[in-house]
Amino acid sequence: MANTQAMTTSFMGELMTATHNFGTAPVRATGATDAFKAALYLTSATMNASSTAYTVTGEVSGTGYSAGGVAVTFGTPPTATNSSVTAGVAFVTPSASITYTTVTLATAFDAVLIYNSTQSNKAVSVHTFGSQTITAGTFTLTMPSNTTSTALIRLATT
Amino acid sequence: MALVTTTKGEMDDSLLEKKEGFVDNDNESTTWVEYWLDGELVHRSAHVALKKNVSSAVEAASFN
């Protein structure tokens, strides 16, 4: 037997469920899953890794679109999978497509911000795609498969 | 025949010109459909299938 330096994969999965707290934790009324939302951003916006929370600045606007976007469903809890004694992946993916139904978004947009609406709208991730406009139509974002390599949100050690 | 939601209300698609397209690259697979009436865009929908995830690498530091 030998010991191997590693970040435990279980820890990464538990980060996704707020099990560990090295600082000051937000006060939670229950242990229930937080609510998440998805907001769309114009091509002129600057959403990126430095984004800390949802903002109306640069968000799309138009008929049928409500500021803040739509709810995101995480029906499957995060999964943590080891691939070796040093490596593993914790991952999670929304369990349903994100859909904006019957909207008119005349100004081009190319990004979606997923954020935690339970915890002060704190940002989770930014995903970009080719520039789009929508006219009296529906915009749908379909999620990748929820696997170790394709899940939408991944924490990984190698 | 099918009804299409347009900027002018529900319209029979037989009255409209339909245009479709797609983009497929490493980041996304996207399809879109447009309906035009007398040169005016009256409906556009898009469906983006995301391929690329966001991933963060984490590590445990060594003492030496």
In a domain, B58, yes or no: no
For residue B30, what is the nearest residue in chain A, using CA coordinates? Answer: A130
Q: pTM for the whole thing?
A: 0.92
Tally of domains within chain B: 1
Residue B61 in any domain: the answer is no
Q: Does B62 fall in a domain?
A: no
Considering the domain boundaries, does residue B31 fall inside one?
yes
Question: Per-residue pLDDT tens for B31-40?
Answer: 999 999 999 9
* CB of A15 closer than 8 Å to CB of A75: no
In this prediction, residue A21 has a pLDDT band, given cuts at 50, 70 and 90, of confident
Residue A128: the pLDDT is: 94
Residue identified by tokens 């996704």 is A16
Q: Give A69's pLDDT tier (boundaries 50, 70, 90).
A: very high
Q: For residue B60, is it within any domain?
A: no
ipTM at complex level: 0.90
pLDDT tens-digit profile of A93-142? Answer: 999 999 999 999 999 999 999 999 999 999 999 999 999 999 999 999 99
Torsion of CA A80, A91, A49, B46, to 10 degrees: 180
Looking at the complex, report in whole angstroms how far the Cα of residue B35 sits from the nearest Cα belonging to chain A.
9
Q: Nearest Cβ partner of B44 from A135, A152, A153?
A: A135
**CB atoms inside a 10 Å sphere around CB B39:** 6
- Percent share of chain A, pLDDT over 90: 78
Contact B49 A142 (CB under 8 A): yes
CB contact at 8 A, B36 and B17: yes
* Dihedral-angle region of residue A68 (phi above 0 means left; psi in -120 to 50 means alpha; beta otherwise): left
- CA pair distance A151, A92, nearest whole angstrom: 6
User: Model confidence over B8-27: pLDDT tens digits?
Assistant: 999 999 999 999 999 999 99
In a domain, B39, yes or no: yes
B55 found inside a domain: no
* Mean pLDDT rounded to a whole number for chain B: 92
Enclosing domain of residue B26: 3-50
* B43 sits in which H/E element: strand B40-50
Say which DSSP state A12 is in: H
Higher pLDDT, A19 or A55: A55
Nearest CA in chain B to A149: B53
Q: What is the model's pLDDT at position B57?
A: 80
Residues in chain B: 64
B41 domain residue, yes or no: yes
Contact (Cβ atoms closer than 8 angstroms) between residue B46 and residue A140: yes
